[in-house]
Structure 1
Amino acid sequence: MTTEGLTSFDQANNSQSSAISADQLTKIYKTGFWLNQKVTSLQSCSLTVQRGETFGLLGPNGAGKTTLLKLLLGIVQPTSGSGQILGYKLGDRACKQYIGFLPEQAYYYDYLTGWEFLEFIGSMFGIEANLRRQRIADLLDLVGLPQSAARKKQLRQYSKGMVQRIGLAQALINDPDIVFLDEPMSGLDPVGRYQVREIILMLKKLGKTVFFNTHILADVEIICDRIGILNKGELIAIGTLNELLGTDKTYQVSGYGGSEAELKPWLLHFEEQGDMWHGQLEGDPQKFLEMLAGINAKIISMNLSRQTLEEFFIEQIRGGAKS
């Protein structure tokens, strides 16, 4: 893919802020020996992801996350519903050069080295040889895979973490506008997870759109602009963390000094433990701190408190409530 191609594409689509849109996407599979049984993998899913947005899709195993990803990528056809990627209808081959994709469980050519594999993928996109070699070297550095190992070691000799890194490199080889990642942290150690998070944040700074599935809630809170939760094939929640978890300014406070009579009007659930006290502040934190200075009390900690993403996720999955 040439730089000129990217430029003309951007100019042709600069009026479109939506990178991904889905309207009532439904996928029903036929199973059984006579294909007379129906299983609904995705039901009436509608969502929009803006250009430059990082969107995280959460859900338990079997929720339909990978099905939605495959529908958006045009790998499978919807039973009903429609959608667009960068202004192209789902399944349109013309948009594939602008997309990068890391599957959760991909098949790679075992007897190729990592470098040979990336050369092969780059050649499929028509990237000129010199640019391809430079881009491969840069991507290997980016994903934390030594060039010596990539050049000499066959993929069948790679650990799961190394395979995940080479997969991430191939997803970026064409400098895509949208990157789809299916469980990108799978099989990685804490250092590898940190590196992938940094790569996604870097892609965000470059204006790329990132759409990924994951089970790791902590990564979602760090990375995502918005999240969606799928359960039993239905999108049951979607929004920013503030929209889903709330923005109530409640603080958990600990300190020492002062008296119960002076502190209790400010703090809910006030309690004392030895020389220390704890409570929940719902008022203005600045005024509270000024009050503490006036009564010769000191604060040890003040942490913003709200429902965690994990708590919200479990509540949604168990309750099945739509929002």
Structure 2
Amino acid sequence: MTSPAVWASGLRKRYGKRQAVDGVTFEVGRGEVVALLGPNGAGKTTVIKMLLGLVRPDAGEVMLLGRPGTDPQSRARVGYLPELFRYQPWLTAAEVLRLHTRLASVTVPAAEQQDCLGLVGLADRAGDRVGGFSKGMQQRLGLAVALVARPELVVLDEPTSALDPIGRADVRDLLLSLREREVAVLLNSHLIGEVERVCDRVVILDHGRVATSGTLAELLGQRELRLRLEGVTAEAESCLGSYKKEGDQYVVPIIDLETVPDLVAALVKLGVRVHAVEPGRITLEERLLDIIRSGETS
């Protein structure tokens, strides 16, 4: 059986009195796109740095592409875009890619390096010095650096923070193309809408621990019903069960859409006027906020 692209077990890291990461365990399968989510200070970047050997864990084990994380060769087929990065301003974009292929000890033809720049929208800026690039262009170059050595695993820490909406859409398409090529991706992003569009699974961290993890279907399985009602009595509120009020709407969690006609019929029978009924799913952002606010752990 093929080993996972990332296997992390019981990772712990303390800085002084602060426990930054506390027993984090998860994995990323080959060709899978997995997102790390959580509030600032949840431990996401520290986890990524421990995976890549940039920070030594106090406890725990890491395997990358079937090799122990302590083996430098485990990172030979890993592409990485850090949250904070800087390239030599006197180099051109093409020279930056040449430098990083040499550092990776990988032979990549010049035409393939040019194609990599084209993949991130910088084909016409290959000869321009990096010092003149905007933040968004430098982030695009960082993506090219992460991809140029033909990695089997790509780790991206906030890859769209400096990009405009078009740039974010380009990155989304890029991630989908990596998945089609069975390249594993570990993504840390605060842009939850982008995560919902591209990720197979999500790992939510809070206070250095895994609060919950699973596929989007598993995490967002709960549905909700939005009803715009008039003349709601105490008896009708009891019929609604657990709900929250948003303006003139009652938001009711439901499991099965088949129960909706019976609920509406019961409300009408109680004299409630039903102006609108809108079923929908809990969003990933709502699920994330619920987990963090409730301190839920799994």
Q: Is the partner of 1:171 in helix, strand or coil?
A: helix
- Matching of residue 88 in structure 1 with residue 67 in structure 2: yes
Aligned position for 2:10: 24
d(CA) in 1 for partners of 2:222 and 2:258? 14
Aligned position for 1:165: 140
**CA 38–284 in structure 1, closer or farther in 2 if over 3 Å, else same:** closer
| 8 A Cα contact 1:73 1:91, kept in partner | no
d(CA) in 2 for partners of 1:304 and 1:279? 9
d(CA) in 2 for partners of 1:304 and 1:177? 40
Return the match for 2:183 from 191, 196, 208: 208
Q: 1:302 Cα deviation (Å)?
A: 8.9
| 8 A Cα contact 1:57 1:214, kept in partner | yes
Q: Is the partner of 1:40 in helix, strand or coil?
A: strand
d(CA) in 2 for partners of 1:189 and 1:57? 22
- Encode CA deviations 1:123-159: one digit per residue, 9 max, x unaligned: 223333xx431111111111011x34221x2111110
**CA 304–171 in structure 1, closer or farther in 2 if over 3 Å, else same:** farther
- Encode CA deviations 1:78-115: one digit per residue, 9 max, x unaligned: 00111211111113111222100001111211111111
Aligned position for 1:32: none
Code of the aligned partner of 1:246: G
Aligned position for 1:297: none
Aligned position for 2:237: none
d(CA) in 2 for partners of 1:73 and 1:160? 24
d(CA) in 1 for partners of 2:279 and 2:152? 36
Aligned position for 2:54: 75
Q: 1:209 Cα deviation (Å)?
A: 0.3
| 8 A Cα contact 2:14 2:21, kept in partner | yes
Return the match for 1:218 from 186, 190, 193: 193
Q: Is the partner of 2:155 in helix, strand or coil?
A: strand
Q: Which runs of 5+ in 1 are unaligned?
A: 1-14, 30-36, 255-267, 270-277, 289-300
Code of the aligned partner of 1:143: V
d(CA) in 2 for partners of 1:48 and 1:240? 13
| TM-score normalised according to structure 1 size | 0.75
d(CA) in 1 for partners of 2:29 and 2:125? 38
**CA 318–122 in structure 1, closer or farther in 2 if over 3 Å, else same:** same
Q: Is the partner of 1:193 in helix, strand or coil?
A: helix
- Encode CA deviations 1:218-277: one digit per residue, 9 max, x unaligned: 0010000000111111110100111112155x67699xxxxxxxxxxxxx89xxxxxxxx
d(CA) in 1 for partners of 2:106 and 2:49? 25
- Encode CA deviations 1:158-215: one digit per residue, 9 max, x unaligned: 1000000000001001110000000011100000000000000000000010001000
| 8 A Cα contact 2:3 2:66, kept in partner | no
Q: 1:284 Cα deviation (Å)?
A: 4.8
- Matching of residue 150 in structure 1 with residue 126 in structure 2: yes
d(CA) in 1 for partners of 2:279 and 2:51? 37
Q: Which has the larger radius of gyration?
A: 1
Q: Is the partner of 1:105 in helix, strand or coil?
A: coil
Code of the aligned partner of 1:141: G
Code of the aligned partner of 1:149: R
- Matching of residue 244 in structure 1 with residue 219 in structure 2: yes
Code of the aligned partner of 2:125: A
Aligned position for 2:235: none
Q: Is the partner of 1:186 in helix, strand or coil?
A: coil
d(CA) in 1 for partners of 2:182 and 2:93? 27
Q: Is the partner of 1:94 in helix, strand or coil?
A: helix
Q: What does residue range 95-106 of structure 1 map to in structure 2 within 5 Å?
A: 95-106=74-85
| 8 A Cα contact 2:220 2:283, kept in partner | yes
Code of the aligned partner of 1:138: D
Aligned position for 2:95: 116
d(CA) in 1 for partners of 2:288 and 2:58? 28
d(CA) in 2 for partners of 1:188 and 1:172? 18
d(CA) in 2 for partners of 1:70 and 1:81? 13
Return the match for 2:109 from 129, 132, 138: 132
d(CA) in 1 for partners of 2:144 and 2:43? 26
Aligned position for 2:247: none
Length, aligned pairs only: 268
